[in-house]
Amino acid sequence: MITLGCRLNLAESETIRALVGADDMVVINGCGVTNEAMRQTRVAIRRARRDRPEAKIVVTGCASEMDHDAFAAMPEVDRVVPNAAKLLPATWGAFPNQRPARRHARAFLGVQNGCDHACTFCAIPMGRGPSRSEPVGQVVSAAAELVQQGAREIVLTGVDLTSYDGGLGALVEAVLVGVPALPRLRLSSLDTIEIDDRLFELITGEPRVMPHVHLSLQAGDDLILKRMKRRHLRAEAIATVERLKARRDIAVGADLIAGFPTESEAAFANTLALIDDCDIVHAHVFPYSPRTGTPAARMPQVSPVVARARAAQLREAADRRRRSWLASLVGTTQRIVIEKPGDRGHAENFAEIRLVDPSLAPQDHATTALPSADAALSAVRMGKIGDVRSVSIIDAAHDHLIGIPA
């Protein structure tokens, strides 16, 4: 199983893995969010054929949904499965749970699919269709099963998660009540304009809901946001973050697009400033790429060279903000779920923490020097994968924290 793209794809791939009844098959669940994602899907197909020349190569996901004929024509591809059919047992000639899927300490659970909005840059509705939601009871049952299989953190995912029928807050509450053995619940990308009052109260006041939000911001300039057909303005995004952080120490992530059509230097500066204004420490940055059939593809384009340069600036600013935030966590105690291979995990705020043997860690916890390579290689296993443990943070690298058992 080869998965590209979003967390919803990751969740769907686990279901596909349980349904596939053949050992001589490679399933590629591709992504179509950008032209680069389409290219990477084609690369993955060709690599799979080189690595497994005798295997049957099956392609599914948004990439092949958006350009079925092109993927079906690839000589490496034996079959293309539509998105609408990829989770059906009949597609794979198997029955649910015929073969156990590999479960992890952190599990992704898809609860919503498709999108009814029409952002001018987005081709995903072409691949995913209109918005629809899984029934609450089905979600609760699936979450309970994941916990029984060993998951200690569940991430609710969707294409447009906050459009969940009946309100995402109501669903989160139902999962928390219905699955009392679940220690940690995390949410994937949220639309700021759709964070309802119940969801806000749960994010800011419920300990089992992780203090980490990933916001679909895309830009920090009002004119660009309007041309994107986003439903929020810059001030509303900032106000949402301020309101959340006033109630709880929440780590903020965001999707940002650089070089959207008509983006001026001043407009880009507003997006660049949003990293500090919204205290973004988990940034996903993309240079804009036009998608055929979308309104933005017909707008006056920014040079791809400029778009890539602006994306690099956004990443540099986001990296500085992230490094400063990680450094501020040195000396604190964090709770993690131990993940594969057993020497790391994510804190509640989604900072990655790597564990080292206490006997090899620096004695001066204030030092900026990292533990030696030998110490990292001698990482201590603090228990089995899935354990929830406290960790003392002794140092910070550029993209993760270093800790020892508390």
Calculate the alpha carbon distances from 232 to 206, 216, 218, 239 in Å: 26, 10, 10, 11
Together in a domain, 198 and 303: yes
pLDDT tier, 34 (very low <50, low <70, confident <90, very high otherwise): confident
Q: Is residue 98 one of the residues assigned to a domain? A: no
Q: Which of 187, 163, 212 is nearest to 108 (CA)?
A: 187
Same domain, yes or no: 70 and 115: no
Q: How many domains does the chain have?
A: 3
Verify that 66 and 208 share a domain, yes or no.
no
pLDDT in tens, 315-330: 999 999 999 999 999 9
Question: What is residue 96's predicted lDDT score, i.e. its pLDDT?
Answer: 47
Same domain membership, residue 76 and residue 11: yes
Nearest to 131 by CA among 191, 178, 186, 176: 191
Amino acid identity of residue 347, one-letter, is A
Query: How far is C-alpha 282 from the chain's CA centre?
Result: 10
Residue 378 scores a pLDDT above 70: no
Q: How many CB atoms lie within 10 A of CB 101?
A: 17
Query: Are 77 and 115 members of one domain?
Result: no
Residue 253 lies in a domain: yes
149-202: pLDDT as tens digits: 889 999 999 999 999 999 999 999 999 999 999 999 999 999 999 999 999 999
Q: Look at residue 376 in the predicted model and tell me its pLDDT.
A: 43
What is the chain's mean pLDDT, rounded? 89
Domain CATH for 53: 3.40.50.12160
Which contiguous run of DSSP H or E holds residue 146? helix 136-148
Domain boundary among 42, 59, 92: 92
Domain contains 97: no
Whole-number Cα distances in Å, 251 to 83, 172, 176, 273, 307: 33, 19, 21, 17, 27
Residues 304 and 171 in one domain: yes
Confidence of residue 405 (pLDDT cuts 50, 70, 90): confident
Do 156 and 37 share a structural domain? no
| Whether 234 and 293 share a structural domain | yes
pLDDT band at residue 341 using 50, 70 and 90 as cut-offs: confident
**Of how many residues is the chain composed?**
406
Q: What is the pLDDT of residue 382?
A: 61
Q: Read off the tokens for 376.
A: 């990292």
The CB-side HSE value for 11 (13 A sphere, CA atoms) comes to 22
Same domain, 55 and 110: no
Please report which helix (H) or strand (E) contains residue 106, including its range.
strand 106-113
State how far the Cα of 188 lies from the Cα of 157, in Å rounded to an integer: 5
Assess whether 75 and 138 both reside in one domain. Answer: no
Select from 274, 307, 328 the last residue of a domain: 328
Residue at 344 is within a domain: yes
| pLDDT greater than 50 at residue 117 | yes
DSSP-H helix ranges across 150-292: 168-178, 197-205, 222-228, 234-247, 265-277
- CATH label of the domain that carries residue 275: 3.80.30.20
Classified as helix, coil or strand, 159 is coil
100 is a domain residue: no
> What are the φ and ψ backbone dihedral angles of 42, each rounded to 5 degrees?
-65, -40
In a domain, 129, yes or no: yes
Q: CA end-to-end span of the chain, whole Å?
A: 37
Residues 170 and 317 placed together within one structural domain of the fold: yes
Q: Which of 302, 328, 354 is the last residue of a domain?
A: 328
Range of the domain at 62: 2-92
**What are the tokens at 276?**
């500090």
DSSP output for 272-330: HHHHHHTTEEEEEEEE----TTSGGGGSPPPPHHHHHHHHHHHHHHHHHHHHHHHHHTT
- Considering the domain architecture, whether residues 156 and 266 belong to the same structural domain is answered as yes
pLDDT given at position 363: 52
